[in-house]
Amino acid sequence: MGTKPTLYDDIPVHPFPPTRPDVTIVESSEKISAVDCPELQWWFAIPRLGEHYLWATYDAETLKLAAVTELVSIAPAMVQDIACVELRVKEWTQNDWPAGPEWMYAVLEAEHTRWLSVAWTDEGSRVSYTLGDEGFEEQWGGPTQRRIVDEERYQLQTDGSYKLTDKQGLGAGTYDVTIGEQTFTCLRVLDADISKPDGGELAEVFIESGGRTVFFRRYDGQHLRGHDLVKKFPDNRRIVINDVTYVHADCTGWAHDTVPEVALRP
């Protein structure tokens, strides 16, 4: 899906230090029961005209800056007779990561956000993947609920694992997240497809009360990518839900922490 520049090739001015700021996450005495998150989940950007977003990806082991992603809303657009915005995506990386989309078309609705199309350059030609194409909704998701709730679906066990109750919602407690000198009270979100035999992927997201993501980690089911991630990464963070083990790792084959620009603002 195209060629991405290296981290120091035409990188925009950005606020991210070369080493990840100190991050402390502790359970909060406050309680957030719901947030309105207008972002594309989990791309940390609101699909509306005039917006500009940056986020940093840090290697979780070395804490060194691994990538910077920029997403800019550039024009109104129309996809499948739905008015939306065109978003330009650029990513600067230290490593040869799988290339992602270069353009996105997405819409912000009163109750949902959703992707309508993504596009990239392949051998000089533009290729699109659009709502209605086979597998599009499975890969990019259908409309996602802006309102994210904590109804105590995740029941914490004495050993630190979770059991799912019959409640709904992705919320999993309220936490105070300190990134450098900034502290945010956040709803913790655990977004996983627990129904998949290998656990699929899991997103651990910390969203402050105004609906913006301030810290993010991706986890893979222990056997998702054809090998035992517990053996490969014995020291990586783990989350266990209904006896399915998720290991802090992602499609790059390593573990990363993501810090959106909003988390560094005073």
Domain boundaries, the chain: 23-264
pLDDT above 60 (res 179): yes
* Amino acid at residue number 46: I
Assigned token pair, 255: 């573990």
Work out the mean pLDDT of the chain and round it to a whole number. Answer: 91
Percent of the chain scored above 70 by pLDDT?
Answer: 95
* Amino acid symbol at 8: Y
> Over 90: is that where the pLDDT of 99 sits?
no
CA distance 149 to 144: 13
Residues 124-128 have a mean pLDDT of: 88
With a CB cutoff of 8 Å and minimum separation 6, the contacts of 138 are none
Q: H/E element holding 124?
A: none
> Residue 8: what pLDDT?
57
- Give residue 246's identity as a one-letter amino acid code: Y
What's the mean pLDDT in 200-208?
96
- Per the model's pLDDT, the better-predicted residue between 104 and 195 turns out to be 104
pTM summary value: 0.93
pLDDT value for 9: 60
